[in-house]
């Protein structure tokens, strides 16, 4: 079981009664329909802790990550991260957070080097220093340096996701938001990424909020896990606590027993 | 300011990597402008010259021998036909001439304007006119009179339009349309890529999560679109200036074949302005580019994908055709000053007036101020769109 060091007791993320509604209209004359993506989610993550959020498609994981990464504004509840409140302190918070999304989004005609330097400049980093750090991270992730100048569109999904992680780590953030970072990766790339995250946590003490479909990944990386279903946090605890509470032999059975849902690994997240 | 330049530089770098975009944005306007202004004319000029030089068959029914001789002299070969109208319709002959009871009837395919048949009809008319003048001169001579009796005075028509308008040529009314079209098309590919393209690739979220104020993101993207729009406009003007000089020198003979002897005009379309005129064209283009980039970015941001963005933006080119039709007949209308406050129409009217050398300070002032105001408003709306979750995350 993963445990935290005694000194790591400060809270890095405090989410309380978080709500988000999307208003949609199916046609010009149709009435506005409300879809609640988050219906009052509360949880906390300690400094240096890795918190795994498990949930099927449509459970609200990506919406939650988008709110925490300041892209969406919540319709209710409070968020405090690294001592800053959202949305009031979003400009300051953005400089302290790294984010990796499920789709490894890049400017595909540009090389990894150009993509990373662009991101670094947006975060106000000095280009030479940013380049050095980017190259270090990419090498740690097992990317050959001769590929740094190839267009990203010529690279595999696994390589692209590694570059995406390197981009999130350019600013050496104390907080990392990972939205299904290993979905769609081959087993080797998946293991590389997981090993890198473990190493990062050990070296830097980075706080990580991780959403995933992969039970084994959650069990390997997360100190604590929250089960999200239909916009509500149904259960949380360590992997062992959740299994014990559900009386289930593994995490997947525990998830099914506690949420009444099954995880669908193939479909896209909302 | 630094972030604006960083974002604009990245957008332009993406464009530079897409050679196809560079070709369509920069090379196409440079080639298209002179080709559009002179290409069809040269084809027509060449066809007209060949029609003049070669011999065509003309159907004849009951045409007297002296007229047949005149027809042959005008490089037309008379052939007997049973049904003149049908022979022309079936293209057995280029034209047909029938004589009955002192009346000549000439058949040709005239509905499509300048066709080969229409040019042969002119040749036959010329032959008949020569024969008519010969007969008149003969009859006057028989009465002891000279042909000067028919010409009590001489008439000379002179073109009094401004120098710029004369040099611009008869197709000059198309220049404003092409200019605004290339400003729009030049910016379109970057605008789509920088908005809907970023949404589709998923990179917009990473950009918006970066510690860069939204205004800087918008201005950075706007600057890239602006640069490409103006480069496209400059390419079009360069093509027009170089192309018109090359075409008018290299193909002078072919263009001459199209001239009307009684009223020679500068054919094709070209720019021949004073330095202040070029400055006015540049300022009008810059202000129009400001307006159009804000519209393009708003539309691109609303769209979910490249395809959707293109389907929103393409009709803009069609919308611009409507003022063009208006522009073609603008000389028949009394232009009111307030026309120059109407968005889009004002830019076309102002550019047309500059090209013709007839723009007034009021017209230009109204155009520039109103375009700046509309551009500012469109930019503000684009900024508001950028702030809206239901627009940015519309998928």
Rg (CA), chain A: 19
For residue A58 the two structure tokens come to 């449509």
Do B206 and A99 lie within an 8 Å CB cutoff?
yes
> Which residues, other chains included, contact B81 with Cβ-Cβ below 8 Å and sequence gap of 6+?
B59, B60, B61, B87, B92, B93, B96
Say if residue B118's pLDDT is above 70: yes
Q: Which of B13, B14, B212 sits opposite A122 (nearest CB)?
A: B212
For residues B376 and B379, what is the distance between their CA atoms, to the nearest angstrom?
5
Rounded percentage of chain B residues whose pLDDT exceeds 70:
93
Q: Among the three residues B92, B118, B149, which one is the final residue of a domain in this structure? A: B149
Residue of B nearest to A24 (CA): B390
Mean pLDDT of A166-188: 86
Does residue B77 form part of some domain?
yes
| Whether the Cβ atoms of residue B74 and residue B131 lie closer than 8 Å to each other | no
> Quick one: B267 and B360 in the same domain?
yes
For position B262, what pLDDT does the model report? 58
Q: Which residues on B lie below 8 Å from A118 (Cβ)?
A: 6, 10
Q: Average model confidence (pLDDT) for chain B?
A: 86
Of the listed ranges A43-52, A196-205, B135-144, the one predicted with least confidence: A196-205
Say if residue A42's pLDDT is above 90: yes
> Quick one: B171 and B72 in the same domain?
no
For residues B139 and B327, what is the distance between their CA atoms, to the nearest angstrom?
50
Do B6 and A122 lie within an 8 Å CB cutoff?
yes
A50-54 vs A224-229, strand pairing mode = parallel
> Quick one: B356 and B320 in the same domain?
yes
For residue B207 the two structure tokens come to 């950009």
> Quick one: B25 and B129 in the same domain?
no
CATH classification at residue B68 = 3.40.190
Q: Which of B10, B14, B209 sits opposite A69 (nearest CB)?
A: B209
Q: Which residues on B lie below 8 Å from A105 (Cβ)?
A: 201-203, 205-206
Q: Among the three residues B101, B123, B149, which one is the final residue of a domain in this structure? A: B149
Does residue B175 form part of some domain?
yes
Residue of A nearest to B212 (CA): A122
Mean pLDDT of A221-230: 93
Q: Among the three residues B123, B149, B175, which one is the final residue of a domain in this structure? A: B149
Do A105 and B3 lie within an 8 Å CB cutoff?
no
| Whether the Cβ atoms of residue A165 and residue A194 lie closer than 8 Å to each other | no
Q: Which residues on A lie below 8 Å from B207 (Cβ)?
A: 122
- pTM to 2 decimal places: 0.80
CA-based nearest distance A200→chain B, Å: 21
Residue of B nearest to A270 (CA): B395
> Which residues, other chains included, contact A203 with Cβ-Cβ below 8 Å and sequence gap of 6+?
none
> Quick one: B226 and B346 in the same domain?
yes
> Quick one: B128 and B173 in the same domain?
no
Does residue B379 form part of some domain?
yes
> Which residues, other chains included, contact A253 with Cβ-Cβ below 8 Å and sequence gap of 6+?
A243, A246
CA-based nearest distance A243→chain B, Å: 36
Q: How confident is the model at residue B308 (pLDDT cuts 50, 70, 90)?
A: very high
Does residue B155 form part of some domain?
no
For position B267, what pLDDT does the model report? 59
> Quick one: B91 and B184 in the same domain?
no
Does residue B46 form part of some domain?
no
> Quick one: B98 and B124 in the same domain?
yes
Q: How confident is the model at residue A268 (pLDDT cuts 50, 70, 90)?
A: very low
Secondary structure letter of residue A30 according to DSSP: S
Top mean pLDDT of A162-166, B21-25, B358-362 is at: B358-362
For residue B77 the two structure tokens come to 């070969």
Q: Which residue is it, tokens 């047909």?
A: B96
Q: Which helix (H) or strand (E) holds A234?
A: strand A232-237
> Quick one: B207 and B340 in the same domain?
yes
Burial of residue B275, with CB atoms counted within 10 A of its CB: 0-12 exposed, 13-18 middle, 19 or more buried: exposed
Q: Is B136 on the interface with A (CB under 8 A)?
A: no
- Domain containing residue B354: 2-41+163-392
> Quick one: B92 and B187 in the same domain?
no
Q: What is the tally of structural domains in chain B?
A: 2
> Quick one: B77 and B212 in the same domain?
no
Q: Is B10 on the interface with A (CB under 8 A)?
A: yes
> Quick one: B245 and B292 in the same domain?
yes
Mean pLDDT of B27-39: 81
Does residue B48 form part of some domain?
no
**Greater pLDDT, A74 or B241:** A74
What digits encode the pLDDT tens for the residues A107-157?
888 888 888 889 988 988 888 888 888 788 777 777 777 777 888 888 888
Q: Which of B17, B202, B212 sits opposite A109 (nearest CB)?
A: B17
Does residue B158 form part of some domain?
no
For residues B362 and B367, what is the distance between their CA atoms, to the nearest angstrom?
8
**Greater pLDDT, B315 or A42:** A42
Does residue B47 form part of some domain?
no
């Amino acid at each position: 079981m993963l445990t935290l060091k005694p000194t790591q007791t400060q809270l890095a993320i405090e989410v309380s009664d978080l709500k988000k509604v999307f208003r949609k209209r199916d046609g010009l004359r149709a009435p506005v329909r409300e879809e609640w993506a988050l219906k009052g989610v509360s949880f906390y993550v300690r400094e240096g802790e890795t918190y795994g959020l498990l949930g099927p498609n449509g459970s609200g994981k990506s919406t939650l990550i988008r709110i925490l990464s300041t892209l969406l504004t919540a319709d209710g509840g409070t968020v405090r991260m690294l001592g800053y409140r959202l949305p009031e302190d979003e400009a300051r918070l953005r400089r302290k957070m790294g984010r990796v999304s499920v789709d490894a989004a890049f400017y595909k005609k540009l090389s990894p080097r150009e993509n990373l330097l662009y991101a670094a400049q947006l975060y106000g980093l000095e280009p030479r220093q940013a380049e050095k750090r980017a190259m270090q991270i990419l090498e740690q992730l097992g990317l050959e340096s001769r590929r740094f100048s190839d267009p990203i569109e010529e690279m595999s999904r696994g390589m692209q996701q590694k570059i995406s992680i390197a981009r999130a780590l350019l600013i050496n953030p104390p907080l990392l938001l990972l939205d299904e970072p290993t979905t769609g990766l081959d087993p080797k790339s998946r293991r590389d990424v997981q090993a890198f995250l473990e190493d990062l946590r050990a070296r830097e003490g980075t706080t990580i909020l991780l959403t995933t479909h992969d039970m084994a990944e959650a069990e390997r990386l997360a100190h604590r896990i929250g089960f999200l279903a239909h916009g509500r946090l149904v259960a949380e605890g360590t992997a062992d606590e959740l299994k014990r509470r559900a009386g289930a032999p593994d995490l997947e059975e525990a998830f099914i027993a506690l949420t009444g849902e099954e995880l669908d690994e193939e479909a896209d997240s909302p | 300011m630094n972030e604006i330049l960083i974002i604009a530089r990245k957008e332009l770098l993406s464009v530079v990597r897409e050679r196809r975009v560079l070709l369509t944005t920069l090379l196409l306007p440079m080639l298209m402008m002179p080709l559009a202004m002179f290409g069809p004319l040269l084809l027509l000029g060449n066809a007209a010259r060949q029609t003049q030089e070669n011999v065509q068959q003309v159907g004849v029914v009951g045409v007297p021998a002296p007229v047949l001789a005149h027809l042959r002299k005008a490089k037309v070969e008379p052939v007997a036909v049973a049904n003149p109208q049908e022979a022309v319709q079936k293209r057995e002959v280029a034209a047909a001439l029938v004589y009955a009871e002192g009346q000549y009837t000439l058949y040709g395919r005239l509905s499509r304007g300048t066709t080969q048949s229409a040019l042969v009809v002119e040749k036959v008319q010329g032959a008949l006119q020569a024969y008519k003048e010969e007969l008149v001169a003969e009859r006057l001579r028989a009465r002891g009179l000279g042909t000067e009796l028919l010409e009590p005075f001489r008439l000379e028509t002179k073109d009094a339009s401004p120098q710029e308008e004369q040099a611009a040529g008869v197709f000059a009314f198309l220049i404003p349309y092409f200019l605004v079209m290339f400003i729009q098309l030049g910016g379109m590919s970057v605008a789509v890529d920088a908005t809907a393209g970023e949404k589709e690739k998923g990179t917009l979220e990473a950009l918006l999560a970066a510690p860069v104020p939204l205004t800087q993101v918008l201005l950075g993207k706007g600057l890239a679109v602006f640069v490409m729009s103006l480069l496209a406009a400059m390419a079009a003007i360069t093509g027009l200036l170089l192309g018109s000089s090359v075409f008018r020198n290299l193909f002078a003979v072919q263009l001459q074949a199209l001239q009307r002897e009684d009223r020679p005009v500068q054919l094709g379309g070209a720019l021949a302005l004073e330095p202040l005129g070029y400055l006015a064209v540049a300022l009008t283009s810059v202000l129009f580019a400001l307006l159009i980039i804000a519209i393009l970015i708003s539309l691109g941001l609303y769209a979910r994908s490249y395809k959707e963005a293109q389907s929103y933006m393409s009709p803009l080119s069609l919308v611009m055709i409507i003022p063009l039709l208006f522009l073609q007949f603008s000389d028949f209308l009394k232009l009111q000053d307030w026309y120059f406050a109407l968005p889009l129409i004002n830019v076309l009217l102002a550019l047309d007036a500059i090209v013709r050398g007839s723009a007034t300070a009021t017209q230009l002032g109204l155009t520039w101020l109103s375009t700046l105001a509309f551009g500012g408003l469109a930019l503000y709306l684009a900024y508001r769109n950028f702030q809206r979750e239901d627009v940015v995350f519309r998928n």
